Chains A and B, each alone.
Chain A
């Protein structure tokens, strides 16, 4: 199994541009989530999904959209990038609630 994969690894955007961060998992996990990690702060939940077709907001959802059309994929869309969205983004998946999540390698995003 490849586990949780994320693309791209690095991305630079200009303010106002849009883009999609890709996340895929091959473990048949129902639960997937997106976090951002900023210096000196813990991981913060952006959006999550409990199964195909079901998504919900986390702690910091503003400026981001998600969809879950398949079990495997959970893309994160930045609608109009802002410098405040400069961060490292991690996707995670788990088999069930109450079970430790598996994280992808991350995408480092810089918005200028």
Chain B
């Protein structure tokens, strides 16, 4: 079946380093991808999204890269800060657009940033 997964369940980095969180997706028809950040005890927070007609999109300190050839998505966080410590989820829109954005979520990667 369709699935969205993450290669690394936990990523530990030093403050100031760049972080890269990876995600693999299995549905080649997926046309929209989102990265969420979830801090302990809180709901997921939208970080950045990208559509399948793009390879790269940049936000503030974050960049999302999409490689449709190998069905791979990554989130790059520049100059990682302790406040970036959280669980990061990728999600894909599988294309079942019956007027609603149905997303399939990955299980998450925990990012730990040490000072």
Q: In the complex the two chains form, what is the Cα distance from A4 to B107 in whole Å?
A: 23
Tally inter-chain residue pairs, CB-CB below 8 A: 63
Total interface residues in chain B, CB < 8 Å: 27
CB–CB A103/B44 < 8 A: yes
Q: Which parts of A2-49 form the interface with B (CB within 8 Å)?
A: 4, 31, 33, 40-45, 48
CB–CB B104/A56 < 8 A: no
Shortest C-beta distance, A20 to chain B (Å), equals 19
CB–CB B44/A97 < 8 A: no
Q: In the complex the two chains form, what is the Cα distance from A104 to B45 in whole Å?
A: 9
CB–CB A50/B44 < 8 A: no
Whether, in the assembled complex, B53 has its beta carbon less than 8 Å from a beta carbon of chain A, the answer is no
CB–CB B100/A43 < 8 A: no
- Across-interface contacts of B45 in A (CB, < 8 A): 103
Check A99/B100 contact, CB under 8 A, given A40-B107, A42-B89, A43-B89: no
Check A48/B100 contact, CB under 8 A, given A41-B107, A42-B106, A100-B34: yes
Q: In the complex the two chains form, what is the Cα distance from A44 to B42 in whole Å?
A: 16
Give the contact-size bracket for chain A: 20 to 34
CB–CB B105/A42 < 8 A: yes
CB–CB B99/A43 < 8 A: no
Whether, in the assembled complex, A53 has its beta carbon less than 8 Å from a beta carbon of chain B, the answer is no
CB–CB A31/B44 < 8 A: no
Check A43/B101 contact, CB under 8 A, given A98-B93, A100-B34, A100-B49: no
- Across-interface contacts of B101 in A (CB, < 8 A): 31, 94, 97-99, 101
Q: In the complex the two chains form, what is the Cα distance from A4 to B44 in whole Å?
A: 12
Q: In the complex the two chains form, what is the Cα distance from A16 to B100 in whole Å?
A: 32
Q: In the complex the two chains form, what is the Cα distance from A105 to B93 in whole Å?
A: 22
